[in-house]
Amino acid sequence: MRLEYLNEQAKKYKAFYELECDCLTSIQTEVLEWVQKKTNFINDKTSTTFWMKVDYKDMAKTSPSLLKYMRAIKTPIREIVVGLLNESLSSGFILHHGAPPMNFKINFPILNTEDVYTEWYDIPMDVLEKLPVTTNQHTGTTAYDLKKLHNDVDKNFKCVGRYNMHTHPVILNSFIPHRVMPGPNAKYPRIMIATMPVNDPINLMQLL
């Protein structure tokens, strides 16, 4: 099956774009306080689920710095999810890619983000087309199941981006296949949030 929206993503768009943010500490404090009060993510050492659906409207109400920042960069958002990497995922979050409607996410580091790297790989369409397709239980969208490529992807395909999201928020290209890999000094739980823009910030992601 050919998922045409993935075709030549790594040749058209950047893997990531680092954003300046002078209020990141405030965003981290407010989001972490909400996570501690409303979830058990801090103490969860066994879940193998990376993306955690949350009451993002409630989170936003208690995260004024996040909303103020998104207004400042003129990027309204439609949803927020939490990315949780705990001890059960210490070998990494499996190679995967996003699906329409949104190509790009704006991610914020929240807790224990040192020495954890997102890696993007340019995998040709003729390789992807031979892989099985999965359906997202939450959105109904389809995507390639990349798990059999995960362990050796760095040996077989070109890495087009490697980034430790620690000191800045970043626009992330979710269509380019990517994985999250902890280094030897990573701490757990590593928590980040992904915000989904109403409109893709294409102007910042296009390759010249």
Dmax (CA) of the chain: 47
Q: pLDDT at position 101, please?
A: 85
Residue 94 backbone phi and psi in degrees, to 5: -55, 145
Digit-coded pLDDT (tens) for 26-42: 999 999 999 999 999 99
> How many CB atoms are closer than 10 A to CB 206?
10
Backbone angles phi, psi at 161, to 5 degrees: 180, 140
pLDDT in tens, 114-157: 999 999 999 999 999 999 999 877 678 899 999 999 999 999 99
Q: Output the pLDDT for position 139.
A: 74
Spatial contact of 129 and 2, defined as CB atoms under 8 Å apart: yes
pLDDT means over runs of 10, the chain (208 residues): 89 96 98 97 92 96 97 96 96 94 95 98 96 83 94 97 97 98 97 96 90
Assigned architecture for domain 13-198 = Sandwich (2.60)
Spans of all domains in the chain:
13-198
User: Is 177 within 8 Å of 119 (Cβ atoms)?
Assistant: no
Q: What is the mean pLDDT of the chain?
A: 95
Q: SS3 string of the chain?
A: CCCHHHCCHHHHECCEEECCCCCHHHHHHHHHHHHHHHCCHHHCCCCCCCEEECCHHHHHHCCHHHHHHHHHCCCCEEEEEEEEECHHHCCCEEEECCCCCCCEEEEEEEECCCCEEEEEEECCHHHHCCCCEEECCCCCCEEECCHHHCCCHHHHCEEEEEECCCCCCEEEECCCCEEEEECCCCCCCEEEEEEEECCCCHHHHECC
> In the structure encoding, which two tokens stand for residue 158, read together?
């070109």
Spatial CB neighbours of 78, under 8 Å, sequence gap ≥ 6: 196, 197, 198
**Measured distance CA(59)–CA(44) in Å, rounded:** 19
